Amino acid sequence: MSKPTVLSAIFTITLAAACDRPSVPGANGTGYAVHDSAGVEIVVNHTPEHPPGQFWTVDPEPEIVLGGEEYPGDAANDSAQLIWDVVGIARLTDGRVAVLSGEGQALFLFEASGKLSVTIGRAGEGPGEFMRPERLQYLPPDTLVVWDYHMTSINYFDTEGSLLRERTIDHAVLMERVPGASGESMRMTLPDGSFIVGRVDPEAAREIGEPMPGSTFRFMPEEYLRVDEEYGTQSFGTWEGMEMWVPEMDVDPDFGIPFVPTFALDSHIAVGGDPLSVYISEGDRNEILQFALDGKLMRIIRRTTDPLAVTDRSHGAWMDDMYAFGEVIGEPLPPGVFDGMPRKESYPAVGGLVVDAEGYLWVREWSESEAGWPDRWSVFSPWGRWLGILAVPPEPALSDLFMCYKYMVPCWVDRDMFLTIRRDDYGVERVEGYRIRRVE
């Protein structure tokens, strides 16, 4: 018997909800309604709780800046030569900032001033050493976890740099329990030591034929599974893949047809809160599903807002920025790669997900600015109420194109600070931290 997908589960819940007494906007509170359907709580948001100007604010200038160019006459900056190929960041409870460098093969702890406090790890394959670290976890108040290349080792350190323990993944057992999974399949790490992998659905993969030039399609669907320390698994269903564009251009047949990610429509996943929850969205629906760690669907968070239209100006801005970003990172796109690409009617409702250290859900989304890419965040309470909208960073830049998107540009959000990685015009990385001022 084939396993039901998430979409079939949603369809069942929708039918059940149709049999319930209809919810009246504002019946449970101003601008939102909550009801139960088949044991799943559904939160329908019509408007944010806080209108513009009455929600939290973010300081216009970064309070923390680590890295960036050094210039003659500037004060010595310990971080200037160490902030590069950043794959993970976190802000500790004592105010220090942890920065994991993949190519640097080390974890650095900095004071907010930029002074280097502690260096953890070094290149190697022994205990506490890294081949190419890929993930950083902070387990408050005093534990840092570094996941090395393709889960070859997992090292636990205290915040003074001492190695607490080392853990390894038995890849043979992993592949036996989750056929098709590997070290490359990891999507999320969880505080309890478990992790989430993405496994391509073989049946769905076979159904995808060779896409035609001049078309868009969604890449192979993935099933998200949580794998615990005993290699037990819990499924969160199968989700659509990233949207790809097939250019209308001649290509060497030995290389096949190039697929260019649009970085617009994709499935998104985030983990956090207390108790821990897994949040997933396919991007195109204005809803986010909240699961318990055992895979049970607990809550559906919806909004009734209208889709935001894609204009000629915003479509052109997106293409220009994609070309420019390729130049900045040293991977220029071929001229004309987007020729013939149709303009979407509207943007997806979700462009990214982050759960902050307080358990609030941040949803990255597009605004009316016509920037062409997501440039603001809607913030939801741990129980699904849409609270308000924030522009972070306050002055968007080209380097924010993939901010908090999967593990391309890491970020960290806690009660008081929003940390992310930004680049200057020459591609030099820096960590910036913006003060969040919350209203109670």
Residue range 101-133, pLDDT digits in tens: 999 999 999 999 999 999 999 999 999 999 999
Instruction: State the Cα–Cα distance between residues 369 and 192, nearest whole angstrom.
Output: 40
Phi, psi of 213 (to 5 degrees): -55, 145
DSSP code per residue over 98-120: EEEETTTTEEEEE-TTS-EEEEE
Which of 244, 237, 198, 204 lies closest to 220, judged by CA? 204
Domain boundary assignment for the chain: 86-405
pLDDT score at 166:
96
Under CATH, what is the fold of the domain 86-405? Neuraminidase (2.120.10)
Mean pLDDT for each consecutive 10-residue tract of the chain (440 residues)?
Answer: 40 40 49 94 97 93 87 54 93 98 96 94 94 96 96 96 96 91 88 94 66 86 94 95 86 62 91 96 94 97 96 95 87 88 94 97 96 95 97 89 88 98 88 92
CA distances to 35, 48, 354 from 302, in Å: 12, 12, 17
Query: Three-class SS of residue 209?
Result: coil
Helix (H) or strand (E) holding 231: none
**For residue 302, how many other CB atoms are within 10 A of its CB?**
19
Instruction: State the Cα–Cα distance between residues 239 and 221, nearest whole angstrom.
Output: 5
Query: Residues with Cβ < 8 Å from 123, sequence gap 6 or more?
Result: 105, 129, 130, 131
Helix (H) or strand (E) holding 329: none
Helix (H) or strand (E) holding 302: strand 297-303
CA 291 centroid distance within chain: 17
pTM of the full predicted structure? 0.90
